[in-house]
Structure 1
Amino acid sequence: MKSLPPKDPVTALTFSRLRALNAVTETGSFSAAARRLGVSQATVSQQVRDLERALGVEFFRRSANDMLPTSLCQQLYETARQIEDGTGRIAEILRQHRTMKHGELRVGLGQPLPGMALIRAFRAKFPGVDVKIEMGSWGRIVDAVGEGRVDVGVLPEPPDQDRFRRRQIQSQSVVAIVHPGHPLAGRTAIGCADLMSERLIFRTAGSSTQKVVDEGFRRAGLAPRPSIVMDTRDGVLDAVSHDLGVGFMWSKGASRQAELAQVPCREMSRERADHVFALRTTSNPLGNAFFALEPEREESSYKGGSSV
């Protein structure tokens, strides 16, 4: 090889040349290396030849259709691979930095709290990130996380399945809610039997609240008939605020102002754990940051009797 090596060989070791060298070493041919790198075969062969000429060495010997690495190439390959891998990690760190400053996070909530408290804490840390919220029933949010429509969800007792990673953030129970003028508003505790003569406002199937309510009445051996069935939590709150009956909600599940009384029900008093959860197979920096947050504690603005 007629060219003389440079005084400083490092100047010849450009990233594109090292990347081409690694690809040919790993695939055994210029054509295969070109397919891996998404460039032309001529580009790969030119980068390798330029590196050989600049350094005055030979990295490959041709045998039939294969490019066989020389002993020198084999000695250099491990370090060259580390350089390429390190450069890739640098690029990923920079990509994550840009994402954390200007990305988008999709969150699924079954109820405002504690999810909104988590979102507030997240926005304080990442003010440039857009947050998109999908709200719905327990079943809808489980589907949203499972189908990848949202990056992370917040629900009471999401499925304990291998496909999800979960972290508990608080616990709460389901309580009855009534208009402040309702006869039950002053009670410190009630049982399901006390509710059988009341106009009951239920949620539709798929609601985590309704699952607990149904379980409580079954435990009491009772089968109530609701007077109203609502498909949203806000619908229940509005109906109760108009004194249309007795509804049910999670004890820490809302923060907006309303003069409603919470009344603990004995058969529904077991605390259920709220979790933040996401698919194990999909992970992104913003989702991981949200997953690690602790919610800022808020006192519910709903008024009610003393705890049991």
Structure 2
Amino acid sequence: MTESRATRTGTLHIMADSALHVLKILARFREKYPGVGVTISQGNTATVTESLFSYEADIGILGELPPSRDFETVALNSSPISAFVACGHPLAKRSTISFSDLSGLPLVMREAGSKTRKKFEEAAAAKGFAFAPAITAEGREAVREIVASGAGVGFVSAAEFGDDPRLRRIPLEDEAQMMMDETLICLRERRGGKLVSAFLAIAQEQANEMESDG
């Protein structure tokens, strides 16, 4: 009875590296379980997994799976890393951009340990390029605001770019080497909980629909 009541009046705690990846799932979940409260916090891979292990979060969304068999997973999407600039930037009218185009330009990057930054740097190194950021900012929103001010070129997965009239996304020529995979995870031991199970079922349903459309 307690778990049955949970799907009517419980609370689901989600921690995500970006809430954008879970918005459609969340909308379906709220439509089906309108009485359930949802809290969403932001964190990187380390904080997401720590929150799951400490039971502070029920569901995690992240771009890099931790090396553990303790998790149940649902693959959400995969999208390339793109460059982005302010609309008034000289590169704003380019249809694509290469690593050589970025040489000598001020780059705005996430903090060390960011999956986006790591993927970009590894792909650049494979082509013989090494980039040092002119500005390092902690968090996706901080990078976005700095780039919007015209201070440099930023990088983000295409799925997380969103809609911002101040910014222009520019695909990278080597984007196939810089794919960001987003995955929903939960502790395997909590998979049977009513709220967690309901959310995972909706996530898997959407993932199956996307695969069919693809």
Same fold, TM exceeding 0.5? yes
Structure 2 distance, partners of 1:175, 1:207, is 15
Would the aligned equivalents of 1:191 and 1:267 in 2 still touch at CA under 8 Å?
A: yes
- 1:280-300 Cα distance to aligned partner (Å, 9 max, x none): 122311111111224999xxx
Question: Secondary structure, in 3 states, of the residue corresponding to 1:113?
Answer: helix
1:196 equivalent to 2:138? Answer no
Amino acid at match of 2:12: L
Would the aligned equivalents of 1:156 and 1:273 in 2 still touch at CA under 8 Å?
A: yes
1:277 to 185, 197, 202: 185
Question: Deviation of residue 170 (structure 1)?
Answer: 1.6
TM-score when scaled to structure 2? 0.87
Structure with a larger share of its residues in strand: 2
Question: Secondary structure, in 3 states, of the residue corresponding to 1:292?
Answer: helix
Distance 1:207 1:295, change over 3 A: farther
Amino acid at match of 1:158: L
- 1:222-268 Cα distance to aligned partner (Å, 9 max, x none): 22121110101000110111111000111011435343111111334
Would the aligned equivalents of 1:164 and 1:277 in 2 still touch at CA under 8 Å?
A: yes
Segments of 5+ residues of structure 1 without an aligned counterpart are 1-93, 298-308
Distance 1:229 1:108, change over 3 A: same
Amino acid at match of 1:276: L
Would the aligned equivalents of 1:168 and 1:276 in 2 still touch at CA under 8 Å?
A: yes
Partner residue, 2:195: 286
Distance 1:97 1:113, change over 3 A: same
Amino acid at match of 1:198: L
Partner residue, 2:73: 166
Identity, % of aligned positions: 29
Question: Secondary structure, in 3 states, of the residue corresponding to 2:26?
Answer: helix
How many residues in Structure 1 have an aligned counterpart in Structure 2? 204
Distance 1:198 1:169, change over 3 A: same
Structure 1 distance, partners of 2:151, 2:134, is 9
Segments of 5+ residues of structure 2 without an aligned counterpart are 207-214
Structure 2 distance, partners of 1:173, 1:146, is 30
Q: How does 1:128-277 map to 2 (within 5 A)?
A: 128-159=35-66, 161-270=68-177, 271-277=179-185
Structure number with bigger Rg: 1
Superposition CA RMSD, Å: 2.1
Q: Which protein, 1 or 2, shows the higher relative CO under an 8 Å CA cutoff with sep ≥ 6?
A: 2
Amino acid at match of 1:115: V
Question: Deviation of residue 112 (structure 1)?
Answer: 2.6
Structure 1 distance, partners of 2:46, 2:80, is 19
TM-score when scaled to structure 1? 0.62
- 1:199-236 Cα distance to aligned partner (Å, 9 max, x none): 10011123221121221222122221211101010001
Amino acid at match of 1:226: P
Question: Secondary structure, in 3 states, of the residue corresponding to 2:132?
Answer: coil
Would the aligned equivalents of 1:138 and 1:206 in 2 still touch at CA under 8 Å?
A: no
Distance 1:180 1:128, change over 3 A: same
